[in-house]
Amino acid sequence: MLSILAAGSVFFPGLFLLSKQCLKHFPGLKWNEGDAVVVSARLVSSIQAIMASSAGYIISTSCDDIIEDQHWLTSSYILFAVPYFVYDIYAMFLCYWHKLQVKGHEVDTGPKPMTVALSSYLRKEFLMVLHHVVMVTVCFPVSVFWRQGKGDYFQGVMFLAELSTPSVCLGKILIQYKQQHTLLHKVNGALMLITFFICRVLLFPYLYYVYGRYASIPFYLVPIAVPWQCNLGAALLLAPQIYWFSLICRGALRLFTGSSRSHSPKDPARPDPDGHTVRPQPANGYSACTKETGHDWSHVLRE
C-alpha cells in the first residue's frame, strides 16, 4: 500500500516538473514560466484522466458479478491516484498565481501578496478545493476500507467519469491562447458537453439502474434498498456535477450563439476614451463570467 502511494506521490509532481522544463527549454518552444506551468498542469490532468478511464474500463468489463467480483486494479489505482488530488490543489494554485501576474495584478515574492493570492484562490476555487479534499479524506477510505472488497464494478464505472477531463483541459488551453473563435474550440466544447453529461451526470442514475437489474427491483425502489450511506454519498457527489454541468450549458449557449450576437446591428462598435474603436467582445464559449474577470467555467471540471 505504501509503495503504491509513494509511486503516485512521485509520478504526478515529477511528470508536472518534467513537462514544465521541457516546455521551457525545448528548441522551438521555450515558453515562459507561466505558460509552461498552466499547460503542464493541464497535461498531467489529462494523463491522469486517461489512466483512470483505462483502469475503469478494465475493471468494469472484468466484473461479471457487480457486487462480489474483485479486480486487483481497483484498490491499486485508488492508492496510486490519491496523491494526484493533493498535488492538483497546489498545481491549480500555481496556475492561478501566474494568471494574476499575466493580468497585471501587483504580485511580488513577499509573504503578503502570496497570502492575498492564496486567500483569493481559496475563495474562487472553494468548491474545487473542497472536492479534492473530500476525495482524499472521505472517498479514499470509503473506497479502500469501508467497501470491504465489494462493488469493484461500481468503482470502475466511477473511474470512467474522467473521460470528460481531456476535453476540459483542451478547452482551457484554447482559452489561454485566445482561440475561442476556432472550429476546434467549438467541436471541443460540444464534446465536453456530451461527455460531461454522460460520464458525470448520468453516471449515478446508471449505477442505480444497474443495481436494480442485479437485485431484480424497480429503479425507483433502489434508493430504499441500498444503505443510506450510498444514497448520501451519491447525492454529495452528484450535486456539484449538476452545478458544473449547468455552467457548461451556459458556456455552450454563449459559444454557439455568440457569433450572431457579435454581428448584431444593435451592438455596434464604439470608441473608447482614447479614441480607439472597441468592438463588442465575442461570447466566450467556455466562460460563465465576463471576459474581464479572466475566469472560465472549465476550471471547475477538473475532477
d(CA 271, CA 9): 53
**In-domain check, residue 9:** yes
CB-based contacts of 67, cutoff 8 Å, min separation 6: 150, 151, 153, 214
Residue type, 15: L
Residue pLDDT tens, the chain, 303 long: 789 999 999 999 999 999 999 988 877 777 888 888 999 999 999 999 999 999 999 999 999 999 999 999 999 999 999 999 999 999 999 988 888 876 554 444 444 577 888 888 888 888 889 989 999 998 888 888 888 888 999 999 999 999 999 998 998 888 877 888 889 988 998 899 999 999 999 999 999 999 999 999 999 999 999 989 889 989 988 998 999 899 888 877 877 776 544 444 444 444 444 444 444 333 333 333 333 333 343 433 443
CB-based contacts of 4, cutoff 8 Å, min separation 6: 76, 79, 80
CB contact at 8 A, 67 and 151: yes
Long-range contacts of 229-235 (CB under 8 A, 24+ apart): 229/146, 233/142, 234/204, 234/207, 234/208
The backbone torsions φ and ψ at residue 288, rounded to the nearest 5 degrees and listed phi first, read -100, 0
**In-domain check, residue 269:** no
Would you state the pLDDT for residue 85?
94
**In-domain check, residue 275:** no
Would you state the pLDDT for residue 294?
35
Would you state the pLDDT for residue 258?
65
d(CA 67, CA 55): 18
Tell me the β-bridge partners of 278: 270
Alpha-carbon dihedral 89, 242, 297, 263, rounded to 10 degrees: 170
The angle that helices 33-62 and 72-102 make with each other, rounded to 10 degrees, is 160
**In-domain check, residue 146:** yes
DSSP 232: H
**In-domain check, residue 263:** no
Question: What 3 state SS string does 247-275 have?
Answer: HHHHHHHHHHHHHHHHCCCCCCCEECCCC
d(CA 196, CA 248): 9
Would you state the pLDDT for residue 291?
36
**In-domain check, residue 300:** no
Per the structure, the complete domain to which residue 247 belongs is given by: 2-258+282-295
Which cell is 294 given? Answer: 479572466
> In total, how many domains does the chain have?
1
CB contact at 8 A, 160 and 57: yes
**In-domain check, residue 114:** yes
**In-domain check, residue 76:** yes
Would you state the pLDDT for residue 215?
93
